[in-house]
């Protein structure tokens, strides 16, 4: 099949070495085979330099993520591939450089699941440009094409699995099964923080036994001290107690060896982009990044729609106890709008992901417009930071909370835990009209229940709230933002299934269940919704109401029909772990919750 037409996927396989470095720069002009890449800027075709955004660079050196990619053309196995920012294409381009000196890439290309996941999950609008960095580039390109054709011939395989060990800091990553002296060996490395790096050694085979974490070394080099360099830019140094066949101790050390990046991309707008961290060798990570490009393109289309935009933060430093703060004047007619959206993004101090903050933290936006009002410093929005990636951008509808903006001058505060590394935050308020002919407007917000420590006393802290409705009420909505955090012996609340119940008038139970918490790919499956892909850490796993690098969506339920519009009503909240009251024995988790009744007229 030519070019895998059933996916509309176009693979361009290059037969020269090092046309691009995959960190979005090319080799120096005297680098090997650099004449195969022709810079085709029409204005400066013979000038030997390129100018983008008023900045001059020699050749293609010095480019950073976000820079406009220059035009180029390159010879492939199937003709000349031409990239031009002016060609009107709205496709993202992913560039991957192969080298046979990387065991990681060898696994990427020889594991059948990796290739089938590329064909299954890569968006049809994405183009992939494949090249080799080696002297054997022609043979490599032909081999890569054969691998793709072979995977396509076997059809699409949707099965994907990660073997987890009870959420400990271990991931077992299957490479292959090898027989040596009648020993069936499962090759995997056990690393901290769920990190997994695959390796193949010519003279050294490291076998780990899962039960006791001991290992044995089979080698052909007659020495008791073996040092094996690994060609990865990220690796954890392990000290292993190993022995040779005669039972003598062998010193095995791993070292960090710098290597080039193997992936970069050009998004639909022609901007150079990083691809993030490939946790283990599968092309699924390439597909996830491409899916995020598709999400971001749709987001930009949404942001182009008419709205009254009120700037709050523009790459404002968010760090420490105070976080980011701004005093904002609201438009005089903002209460006439029935849609309020938060256009928020979190970027890093520098332009590369390596400058991004570690860990995933909760980010909350508070607003206070009248210091004497009960609405002062209530939460307006919530997000979770991405782990060492700076591309997060989200649009969150918080229209029911318009009544929190009860004056024309408001103080907005966005912050996370004070010990977190810095983020640069941007935020715009977007006011607009819905397309409903009979619009209803929220005019009153009633605070309900907060969160707290998720222990045996969690539910006993909540008491039933009674309320009556104003005569002008047309609709009542339950609005809650709930996330579960921490880890007890049941991995609650981050990785356990919790349910949250709002009982109306002691008869109607409105329930939110975090069903994907703890699932292997619960958050990876939300890349198309805006979850930042290819982060560090355990970003793939499902969480209790949240994901790394994603907004926390409000839970909204129309409860009008459950209420007595002219009498007294009641609401009671309780939270459960797998259908029962929480009762952790150690390190109880906690729930962050803001919940409201929103009254419309």
Can you read off the two tokens belonging to residue 412?
Answer: 């907005």
Give yes or no for a contact between 333 and 341, defined as CB atoms under 8 angstroms apart. no
Q: How far apart are CA 318 and CA 27, in angstroms?
A: 37
pLDDT attached to residue 77: 83
Between 90-104, 176-190, 286-300, the lowest mean confidence (pLDDT) is in 176-190
pLDDT attached to residue 355: 94
> What residues contact 289, with CB distance under 8 A and at least 6 apart?
94, 265, 273, 275, 276, 533, 534
Can you read off the two tokens belonging to residue 63?
Answer: 């480019």
Q: How far apart are CA 104 and CA 110, in angstroms?
A: 10
41 phi/psi in degrees, rounded to 5? -60, 115
pLDDT cut 70: percent of the chain above it: 72
Q: How far is CA 391 from the centre of its chain?
A: 9
Q: How far apart are CA 132 and CA 254, in angstroms?
A: 26
Question: Which of 469, 498, 463, 502 lies closest to 483, judged by CA?
Answer: 498
- Judged against a pLDDT cut of 90, whether residue 30 lies above it is answered with no
Check residue 525 and report its DSSP letter. G
Q: Please report which confidence band the pLDDT of residue 59 belongs to, taking 50, 70 and 90 as the band edges.
A: very low
Can you read off the two tokens belonging to residue 481?
Answer: 């933002």
Q: How far apart are CA 356 and CA 391, in angstroms?
A: 10
SS3 per-residue string spanning 88-106: CCCCCEEEEEECCCCHHHH
What average pLDDT is seen over the chain? Answer: 77
Average pLDDT over residues 45-62: 39
CA-based radius of gyration for the chain: 27
Can you read off the two tokens belonging to residue 465?
Answer: 């709230």
Give yes or no for a contact between 137 and 131, defined as CB atoms under 8 angstroms apart. yes
pLDDT attached to residue 191: 26
Q: How far apart are CA 487 and CA 587, in angstroms?
A: 7
SS3 per-residue string spanning 466-506: EEECCCCCCEEEEEEEEEEECECCCCCECCCCEEEEEEECC
Q: How far apart are CA 199 and CA 181, in angstroms?
A: 21
Q: What angle do CA 32, 36, 39 make, to 5 degrees?
A: 115
pLDDT attached to residue 52: 38
- Judged against a pLDDT cut of 80, whether residue 107 lies above it is answered with yes
Spell out the domains of the chain, with CATH numbers in brackets: 5-160+261-266 (no CATH), 163-256 (no CATH), 305-438 (2.60.120.230), 440-601 (2.60.120.230)
Between 13-22, 129-138, 422-431, the lowest mean confidence (pLDDT) is in 13-22
pLDDT attached to residue 88: 57
216 phi/psi in degrees, rounded to 5? -130, 155
Q: How far apart are CA 155 and CA 238, in angstroms?
A: 39
Q: Which helix (H) or strand (E) holds 556?
A: strand 555-558
Average pLDDT over residues 465-480: 97
Q: Which residues of 144-177 are buried (b: 16+ CB within 10 A; e: fewer)?
A: beebbeebbeeeeeeeeebebeebeebbebebee
CA dihedral 466, 470, 476, 481 (to 10 degrees): -60
- Judged against a pLDDT cut of 50, whether residue 207 lies above it is answered with no
Q: How far apart are CA 414 and CA 571, in angstroms?
A: 30
Question: Which of 299, 378, 412, 361 lies closest to 552, judged by CA?
Answer: 361
Q: How far apart are CA 312 and CA 359, in angstroms?
A: 25
Average pLDDT over residues 454-480: 97
Question: Which of 569, 377, 556 lies closest to 480, judged by CA?
Answer: 556
Q: Please report which confidence band the pLDDT of residue 217 belongs to, taking 50, 70 and 90 as the band edges.
A: very low
Check residue 472 and report its DSSP letter. T
pLDDT digits (tens, 9 = 90+) for 336-392: 899 999 999 999 999 999 999 999 999 999 999 999 999 999 999 999 999 999 999
Q: How many CB atoms lie within 10 A of CB 75?
A: 16
pLDDT attached to residue 546: 98
pLDDT cut 90: percent of the chain above it: 55
Question: Which of 345, 362, 447 lies closest to 404, judged by CA?
Answer: 447
- Judged against a pLDDT cut of 70, whether residue 408 lies above it is answered with yes
pLDDT digits (tens, 9 = 90+) for 141-199: 889 888 888 888 875 433 222 111 122 221 122 122 222 222 222 222 222 222 222 23
Question: Which of 195, 592, 593 lies closest to 388, judged by CA?
Answer: 195
């Amino acid at each position: 099949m030519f070019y895998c037409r059933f996916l509309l996927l176009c693979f361009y396989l290059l037969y020269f070495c090092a046309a691009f470095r995959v960190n979005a720069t090319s080799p120096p002009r005297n680098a090997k085979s650099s004449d195969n890449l022709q810079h085709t800027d029409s204005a400066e075709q013979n000038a030997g330099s390129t100018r983008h955004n008023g900045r001059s660079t020699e050749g293609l050196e010095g480019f950073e993520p976000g820079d406009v990619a220059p035009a180029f053309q390159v010879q492939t196995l199937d003709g000349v591939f031409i990239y031009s920012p002016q060609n009107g294409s709205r496709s993202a381009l992913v560039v991957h450089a192969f080298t046979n000196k990387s065991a990681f890439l060898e696994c990427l290309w020889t594991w059948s699941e990796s290739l089938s996941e590329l064909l299954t999950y890569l968006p049809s609008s994405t183009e992939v440009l494949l090249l080799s960095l080696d002297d054997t580039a022609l043979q490599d390109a032909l081999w890569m094409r054969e691998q793709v054709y072979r995977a396509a011939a076997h059809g699409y395989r949707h099965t994907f699995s990660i073997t987890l060990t009870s959420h400990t800091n271990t991931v077992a990553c299957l490479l292959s099964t090898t027989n040596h002296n009648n020993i069936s060996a499962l090759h995997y490395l056990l690393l901290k923080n769920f990190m997994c790096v695959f390796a193949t050694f010519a003279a050294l085979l490291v076998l780990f036994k899962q039960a006791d974490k001991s290992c044995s070394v089979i080698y052909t080099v007659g020495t008791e001290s073996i040092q094996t360099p690994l060609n990865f830019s990220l690796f954890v140094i392990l000290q292993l107690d190993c022995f040779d066949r005669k039972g003598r101790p062998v010193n095995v050390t791993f070292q960090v060896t710098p290597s080039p990046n193997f992936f970069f991309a050009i998004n639909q707008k022609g901007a150079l982009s990083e691809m993030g961290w490939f946790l283990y060798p599968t092309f699924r990570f390439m597909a996830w990044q491409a899916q995020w490009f598709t999400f971001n393109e749709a987001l930009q289309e949404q942001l182009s729609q008419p709205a009254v935009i009120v700037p709050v933060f523009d790459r404002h430093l968010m760090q420490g106890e105070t976080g980011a703060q701004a005093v904002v004047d609201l438009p005089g007619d903002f209460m006439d709008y029935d849609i309020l959206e938060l256009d928020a993004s979190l970027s890093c101090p520098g332009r590369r992901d390596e400058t991004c903050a570690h860990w995933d933290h909760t980010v909350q936006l508070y607003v206070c417009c009248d210091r004497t009002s009960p609405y002062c410093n209530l939460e307006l929005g919530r997000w979770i930071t991405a782990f060492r990636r700076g591309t997060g951008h989200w649009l969150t509808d918080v229209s029911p909370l318009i009544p929190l903006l009860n004056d024309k001058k408001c103080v907005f505060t966005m912050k996370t835990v004070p010990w977190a590394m810095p983020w640069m935050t941007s935020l715009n308020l977007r006011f607009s009209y819905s397309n409903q002919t009979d619009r209803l407007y929220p005019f009153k917000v009633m605070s309900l229940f907060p969160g707290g420590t998720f222990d045996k006393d969690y539910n006993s802290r909540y008491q039933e709230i009674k309320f009556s409705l104003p005569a002008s009420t047309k609709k009542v909505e339950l609005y809650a933002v709930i996330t579960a955090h921490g880890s007890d012996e049941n991995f609650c609340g981050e990785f356990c299934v919790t349910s949250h119940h709002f009982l109306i008038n002691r008869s109607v139970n409105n329930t939110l269940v975090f069903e994907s918490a703890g699932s292997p790919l619960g958050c990876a499956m939300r890349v198309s919704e805006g979850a930042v892909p290819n982060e560090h850490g355990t970003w793939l796993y499902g969480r209790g109401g949240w994901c790394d690098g994603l907004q926390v969506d409000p839970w909204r339920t129309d409860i009008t029909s459950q209420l007595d519009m002219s009498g007294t009503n009641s609401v009671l909240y309780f939270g459960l772990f797998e259908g029962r009251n929480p009762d952790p024995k150690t390190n109880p988790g906690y729930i962050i919750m803001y919940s409201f009744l929103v009254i419309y007229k």
